[in-house]
Structure 1
Amino acid sequence: MRRKITARRKTTASLGLSAALVAATFVATGLAPSAAAEPRSDSGATSKALASPGLLDAMERDLGLSPAAARERLADERQAVKTERAARKAAGSAYAGSWFDAESGKLTVALTGRQAAGEVRDAGADVEIVKHSAATLDAAKKRVDKLKAPDNVASWRVDAKANRLVVDVVRGHRADNDVSTFLRKARATAGAPVQVGTVPAGPSTFAAGTVGGDPYYTGNVRCSIGFSVQGGFVTAGHCGKAGAGVRGWDNSTIGTFQGSSFPDNDYAWVSVGNGWWTVPVVLGWGTIPDRLVKGSSEMPVGTSICRSGSTTKWHCGNLLAKNETVNYSDGTIVHQLTKTSVCAEGGDSGGSFISGDQAQGVTSGGWGNCSSGGETWFQPVNEILQRYGLRLHTA
């Protein structure tokens, strides 16, 4: 969202939305389910146009890629989005998930039978034959979602590559009685294979004090804008409840939370007025040029993704998993989040996850920091658009 022009601060046509996790005297938790609004086509853009020097520098810093390797990966990932759409349609009920392999630059689609394998390969994907369909595993996860999780069970998800459910437990706590009980119930309830993994720490939402940067405020809470929509912007639900007033960086009134869902989901939208307006931009913080938003095509697991936030600015990583249920450290559970290897810190809540010029989601929470590393979850943007009947503001 673009700021008002005042004597204290000026904006240009390229200035865009910044993202920040909640900043406040309280720490909230949450994730959210994803649905899909129809994404806008992005066929006119090229990987060359997206590969700005700043983005290439960020991918070298965070992913260890040379500029040439980063350009090649961006082109491969763009093709993988198109391939995934065609392959999933060809697979039908045999579809069991997909993932992108950065080394080969190819998308693999898992199938429960060979009948559609030829059509899927014709679409440009590699094929792997597995036992359980995506529909079967998604249903199994929904049954596990009904269980009450103890603190040291961090999250659970469907892992398409492993063709099973994966439950992540905080390291050193697998033998705890309550954790063992949860795992036993999960295996009995799922009706599908369950694998146990470990994570260094439990997740939490990223809260921080009301310090400088590019925030918006509601009460004592500081958060960042996610993406402009027609009439306002979307952000994280734990940033404020419906009806709460929102102030800008200069403490002037922006608008009001028109809808908010947390816990279970972690999304919200805020109306904009009072001399404020929206633009289809994500702030690059001087690391890269501000990013124009041209659509919301969802990227496959395994592709690269970047995040903008007012505390830690611009960082990149990999998309690790989708439809993950997260159990935040205060016991709040959020469903259908997307997991990434991108770091984040307090004050980054609600901020933008973007791939190229395609909006992906708003920051919910995670663990770790941008000094030693960590993982972060976001609420997919298409679900938010569908839930509130919003239209993404695109360039």
Structure 2
Amino acid sequence: MYRTVTGVVLLAAGVLTAPVAAAQENYSPELLHAVQRDLGLDAQQARARLQNDARAADVEHRARTAAADSFGGAWIQNGKLVVGITDAARAETVRSQGAEVAVVRHAHSRLKAAKQQLDSVKAPASVAGWRVDERRNSVVVEVARGARDAADFLAAARRFSPSVTVEEVGEAPRLLHDVRGGDAIYNGGSPCSVGFTVEGGGFVTAGHCGDKGDNVKGFNQVPMGSYAGSSFPANDYAWVKTNADWTAKPWVNRQNGTNVVVKGSAEAAVGAAVCRSGRTTGWHCGTVLAKDQTVNYGGGEGQVSGLTKSDACAESGDSGGSWVGGEGFTQAQGVLSGGSGTCRGGTATSFYQPVQEILTAYGLTLLVSK
């Protein structure tokens, strides 16, 4: 008995019952919760789905070998693994591995080669991407709805591939970036640093880094949002509302390939050790020397009150960066305002704006690790 589904012919087939190693059930609660939430399953269904997918991966490996150069792709359909073949004579061999079998027109290797040729063609902005679609047995080109400049690219695709399917998409893909304390930000050509991320998408930093409404770019010069509030002098704090391309993380860059995970904002006492992170000088530590200090910045910048004083060093561009303290340096302390000296030797002094004052001023909630 044969039936045609989306351009392929399914032959009478078996389910995933071929002997395979028992699937391990060491699924973490976090994994099971995510699968239930995002795939709309209950706990039993989520566990069964993961077990079935593990078996399918094992069957696919063996069935692909059995199909040899006739292999036309593999996909899970209605809980069963389907393997496409271009040569029906191989059906029994492939089916014996535990897969359903579908007769398809084009070998996967042929479509993959066409896709690789297409990779060398410069695509217009309206083309979002292209792939070998194993279910459709075709090279699929994703094109923005209403596009008028994709004709040449589609013509190239049809030259390379024996089967091309055009799929309209409503939104072009974009790169996504993380926001973490200590990373660089740019307002025009002036660098500063991220302080701490907040719930709802954004972060706090120093007020002298930008005025309300100023646009901000991230460490990679990609636009990330704008200043939603800023106060300087008198205070030295601000917050930036980020756009959808950036995801706030409860992290501070330790500048060595690792992050500090922010867990709270318990204030460190005078005499306690604190560390700071910034885009210019990286990670440096010192001691809390005093609190509620008023600083008179030179050059007509003005006075800022309520700052905490430390002997950790800092330099230009570190402004706005994170200060942490407490157990494991997981407690947010404040954002760098200014200081004197350098990190290249000698005596240094620095000042930071306590983070809790910033959060209160703008009605923000610190993003912490749950």
**TM-score, reference length from structure 2:** 0.49
Structure with the higher strand share, 1 or 2: 2
Task: Flag the structure with more relative contact order, 1 or 2, with Cα contacts below 8 A and sequence separation at least 6.
Answer: 1
**TM-score, reference length from structure 1:** 0.46
